[in-house]
């Protein structure tokens, strides 16, 4: 299924599988809502993350941010697609969409996947059409 980001492409299910496996590492004792994310560069490098909660709720970090920060710290750029998996079809939060906007093109494909097999594909710019931007000074 698609919501204006096109349909799934070859390789998408592999990325969903990696996100699902990483989801097993979620630390979500407060919400019990476990999320996994896997992001792939155009060169084919994949990095994954899961959500990590905290007793001080606001310190929780979502799966998407853990995946993209880990990729950036490994020197990766040129992201093509991210897969996000939860029990139901996840909707990336505004904070994660803003972080993705920092490192990805508006055309980034975002695959939303439920553990039961539902799929939706969107573009980053459809999910966050008017992101905050600041001129870079370096």
Q: Which residues bind ligand THU (CB under 6 A)?
A: 28, 31, 33, 35, 51, 53, 60, 62-64, 84, 90, 92-93, 96
Retrieve residue 80's tokens.
Answer: 């093509």
Q: Which of 46/63 has CB closer to ligand THU?
A: 63
Q: Which of 96/125 has CB closer to ligand THU?
A: 96
Q: Which residue has the tokens 């750029």?
A: 77
d(CA 109, CA 2): 11
Shortest gap between Cβ of 130 and ligand THU (angstroms)?
20
124: exposed, middle or buried (Cβ count in 10 Å: 0-12, 13-18, 19+): buried
Shortest gap between Cβ of 60 and ligand THU (angstroms)?
5
């Amino acid at each position: 299924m698609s919501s204006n980001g096109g349909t799934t492409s070859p390789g998408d299910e592999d990325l969903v599988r990696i996100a699902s496996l990483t989801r097993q590492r979620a630390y979500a004792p407060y919400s019990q809502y476990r999320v996994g994310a896997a992001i792939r560069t155009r060169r084919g490098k994949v990095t994954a993350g899961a959500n990590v909660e905290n007793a001080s709720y606001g310190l929780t970090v979502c799966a998407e941010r853990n995946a993209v920060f880990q990729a950036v710290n490994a020197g990766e750029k040129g992201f093509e697609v991210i897969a996000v998996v939860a029990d139901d079809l996840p909707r990336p939060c505004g904070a994660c969409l803003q972080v993705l906007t920092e490192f990805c093109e508006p055309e980034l494909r975002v695959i939303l996947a439920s553990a039961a097999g539902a799929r939706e594909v969107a573009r980053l710019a459809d999910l966050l059409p008017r992101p905050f931007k600041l001129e870079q000074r370096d």
